Structure formats: C-alpha cells, structure tokens
C-alpha cells in the first residue's frame, strides 16, 4: 500500500571452520539446518555467507535448499576480488544464486578475511557459529566481535 514502508530484512550470518571432521559432518550439518530453520520461523529472510570452504559453503547450500519451502535469500560477502576466480564448481554455482555479492577488497591483504567477518556481523541481526572451542583464529575472533557488539550467537559444536 502507498505510504507503507517495506519491512527491514532480518539477516543471519555464519562463521565457522573450513575443516569439519568427516565423522561429525552429518551431525554438524543437521544442527546447522535446525538453527537456520528456527531463524526462518523467527522471521529471518536473508542469510549471509563469507563463501569460504567448509561451514560457509554448507550454510549457503542449506539456504538454497530452504528456498523450496520459504521465501529466503542468500547473500555473499567475498573478502577480495581474486576469490571470485575460485575454480570449485559448487562455489561458482552457489554464487550465481545469490541476490547480492559484496566484494570487500580489490586485492588480497592480510586483514581482508577479518574485514569480511566484521562486515557480515555488522550487517547481521544474529550469527550462527560452527565452532570447535579453539581460542584463536578467524571463527573465534568473529564470535568475540559479535558478542562485543551485542549480536546473538547460536552455536553448533565441533567436538574435539
């Protein structure tokens, strides 16, 4: 109707490890799917992935799977332009399904992944973390940043 503003997007992003032990992959994927479904039921309609191997690509694939039943959309946050040349067919296919692709740096630089992670947390209302408990690395830094800025973080545990 004229005069009514469109409701704002509710955005959920993901952070997580690139390597998930094979024996835990099915459980981790099922738990991730469950958290995403709860987010959808709670009104989330946009899911933001950093498109790294592992967690990020699983998350992106799951978003597309939900599109059969829910009006959800996928966005990508790419740390630097060269990453777009990734020769992984799944990466390329998923990327074509995104409603938006943000490339945060023209060139690789040592902080580009950190910048990408902060960008995602800043855009999101909540964060899902696939996390093994290590107190170092990008996933840990992203969780800490999300908590510092008051974002809700839901966890899928990668058990040691």
Could you tell me if residue 139 is inside a domain? yes
Q: Residue 137 falls within a domain, yes or no? A: yes
pLDDT of amino acid 151: 97
Query: How many domains does one find in the chain?
Result: 1
Residue 92: give its domain's CATH number. Answer: 3.40.50.450
SS3 132: coil
For residue 1, being part of any structural domain is answered with: no
Question: Which residues, at least 6 apart from 85, have a Cβ–Cβ distance to it below 8 Å?
Answer: none
- The reply to whether 126 falls in a domain is yes
Q: Is residue 3 part of a domain?
A: no
Q: What pLDDT shows up at residue 2? A: 40
pLDDT at 4: 43
List Cβ neighbours of 91 (8 Å cut-off, separation of 6 or more).
Answer: 51, 57
Looking at residue 97, what is its pLDDT?
98
In a domain, 4, yes or no: no
What is the extent of the structural domain holding 56? 11-157
In a domain, 6, yes or no: no
Pairing of β 152-157 and β 126-131: parallel
pLDDT at 3: 40
pTM surpassing 0.85? yes
pLDDT of 25-81, one tens digit each? 999 999 999 999 999 999 999 999 999 999 999 999 999 999 999 999 999 999 999
In a domain, 46, yes or no: yes
Q: Residues 97-142: pLDDT tens digits?
A: 999 999 999 999 999 999 999 999 999 999 999 999 999 999 999 9
């Amino acid at each position: 109707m004229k005069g009514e503003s469109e409701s704002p997007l509710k955005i959920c992003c993901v952070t997580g490890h690139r390597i998930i032990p094979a024996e835990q992959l099915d459980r981790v994927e099922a738990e991730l799917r469950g958290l995403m479904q709860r987010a959808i039921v709670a009104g989330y309609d946009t899911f933001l992935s950093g498109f790294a191997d592992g967690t990020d690509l699983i998350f992106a694939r799951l978003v597309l799977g939900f599109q059969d039943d829910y009006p959800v959309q996928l966005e990508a946050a790419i740390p630097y332009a060269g990453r777009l040349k990734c020769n992984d067919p799944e990466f390329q296919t998923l990327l074509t399904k995104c409603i938006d692709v943000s490339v945060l740096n023209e060139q690789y630089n040592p902080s580009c992944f950190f910048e990408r992670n902060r960008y995602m947390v800043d855009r999101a209302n909540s964060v899902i973390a696939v996390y093994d408990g290590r107190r170092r690395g990008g996933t840990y830094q992203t969780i800490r940043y999300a908590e510092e800025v008051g974002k809700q973080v839901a966890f899928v545990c990668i058990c040691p």
